[in-house]
Amino acid sequence: MTASPSEPRARREPYDLAVVGAGSAGLAGAVTAAELGLAVALLDTSAQTGGQFYRHPAPALGAVRPEALHHDWSAYSDLRGRLAASDVTHLAGHHVWSTVREDDGTWTVHAVTGADGTSERPALIRARALLLATGAYERQLPFPGWTLPGVVGAGGAQAMLKSGLVLPGRRIVVAGSGPLLLAVASSLAAAGAQVPAVVEAAGYLRYARSPRALLANPAKAAEALLHGTALLRHRVPVRLRSAVTEVHGTDRVEAVTVSRLDADWRPVPGTARRIACDALAVGHGLVPQIELATTLGCATRRLPDGTLGLALDDLQETSEPGLWAAGETGGVGGAGLARTEGELAARAVAARLLGRRAGDGRIAELRRRRDRMRAFADVMSAAHAPGPGWQDWLSDDTDVCRCEEVGAGRIREAVAELGARDARTVKLLTRAGMGWCQGRMCGTAVACLAARGGTAEPPAERRPFAVPVRLSTLASLDEGAADPSPGAP
């Protein structure tokens, strides 16, 4: 059952489980919990389910075969069918900005509604348990020219193609680090774009150092082979240990400079070469989106690539009792791992709420599968972790914080001359990270520059508001005017 902000909700009393995020993990968690007898609310910002991985065109675009742009579409199709057949209340267009544990142990989920979260009416959902499946966002490392029109995130380019059936350009270089690059390049080439190169800053030899993880996850090797074959068919070269270190152009991208990198990601002198293109799709991995949990004080763990994920127990519960998480929130590992963790969390929630033992055969099987795939995810994270030398790409006038237009030189000055030693102090001295994205784009870069070549502390991601909220929304909470039921008359 799907409820829009303008429709009354069937249940007025607290749900058994509220799930935030309708991607692979959230869908698996919601439908499993409902099939086990729980009353479930599924909240998501998008009008459609599937998250970023299974993003697909709006019906109005008339796409005949949206599955052609996706890997493993059948898994999503199965979840979507189970959702349609269930009693899950799907609350589309709900942007969750805060979650609160009440004195009686239940959870209150605060959201704003509408396509961009600007609807006048706030929404409030109450539940006995909470599952966060909020996914991840792209990590960007700045370089000269990265603010030019035509530079988009690697995932952003894929989203444009999947949801809008458009390309960011006709001749597109794909660059950065991580396995997402292969998927993006193969889908762009299949859609008719020219891809003169895939530029990967890391290599693939580190995978070979963990043969057990590789052998235990043959599906990952098959997926890589699928994308690699597609690139060979479209004659797309892959340049390893290389990076785009500068973008050229006036009104938009006209070319990029690609340089070889040493083991620490420093450009090797004399290796720069120019590649003509009209777009650049770039991304250096993904960052778990965990601010809803960390604001509540949930413990985190440092991941092999330097980002933070939630610290979870064997049944996906966070350090905050009654709060579970699944998917990329615990570390980026792909849709298959997300589905497994979503189902595991849902079964653990059902066992807790229904007074059953969480140790049946299915849970044991899910735990083994989760551990196997999580081990591969850690290998992947380590293999593509940025080296400290990437900071040598930056000239002093390179914008690091795009929102506030703070250059690398100002950040270096704050560190060298004003004594800043962490990203928070740099933020106070330069305004880096104070813009609309709240540091999601520049947080990693600012933290690395503040560390002066040492180990950077990942951004803490503790914010009172996970998304922008109008003052009128906050005022309505004080006045007791927020509807406990979205769209209730």
pLDDT at position 12: 47
Residue 482 pLDDT grade (very low, low, confident, very high; cuts 50, 70, 90):
very low
pLDDT at position 95: 92
How many angstroms separate the Cα of 422 from the Cα of each of 55, 136, 298?
Answer: 36, 23, 22
Comparing 283 with 117, the larger pLDDT belongs to: 283
Residue 440 corresponds to which amino acid? R
List the one residue out of 56, 50, 45, 11 whose CA is nearest residue 28.
Answer: 50
Residue 8 pLDDT grade (very low, low, confident, very high; cuts 50, 70, 90):
very low
Highest mean pLDDT among 2-11, 69-78, 89-98, 415-424: 89-98
**For residue 200, what are its two tokens?**
């990967």
Residue 121 pLDDT grade (very low, low, confident, very high; cuts 50, 70, 90):
confident
Q: Phi, psi (5° rounding) for residue 180?
A: -60, -30
Highest mean pLDDT among 382-391, 419-428, 466-475: 382-391
- Could you tell me what percent of the chain has a pLDDT over 70? 91
List the one residue out of 35, 3, 13 whose CA is nearest residue 346.
Answer: 35
| Contact yes or no for 90/45 (Cβ under 8 A) | no
CA distance 99 to 26: 16
pLDDT at position 53: 83
pLDDT at position 7: 42
pLDDT at position 278: 96
Comparing 90 with 439, the larger pLDDT belongs to: 90
Residue 287 pLDDT grade (very low, low, confident, very high; cuts 50, 70, 90):
very high
Residue 64 pLDDT grade (very low, low, confident, very high; cuts 50, 70, 90):
low
What domains, with CATH codes, occur in the chain? 2-137+287-358 (3.50.50.60), 140-284+384-391 (3.50.50.60), 394-478 (1.10.10.1100)
CA distance 227 to 73: 15
CA distance 346 to 350: 6
Rounded-to-10 torsion of CA 175, 181, 187, 189: 40
pLDDT at position 130: 98
| Contact yes or no for 333/223 (Cβ under 8 A) | no
Q: Which of the residue ranges 14-28, 50-64, 240-254 would you say has the lowest mean pLDDT? A: 50-64
pLDDT at position 489: 33
| Contact yes or no for 223/373 (Cβ under 8 A) | no
Q: Residue 58 above 50 pLDDT?
A: yes
Give the β-pairing of 308-310 and 300-302: antiparallel
Residue 369 pLDDT grade (very low, low, confident, very high; cuts 50, 70, 90):
very high
CA atoms within a 13 Å half-sphere pointing along the CA-CB vector of 457: 10
Give the β-pairing of 94-101 and 89-91: unpaired
pLDDT at position 119: 63
Q: Residue 434 above 80 pLDDT?
A: yes
For range 64-81, the mean pLDDT: 82
H or E segment to which residue 366 belongs:
helix 361-383
For range 297-301, the mean pLDDT: 93
Comparing 46 with 255, the larger pLDDT belongs to: 255
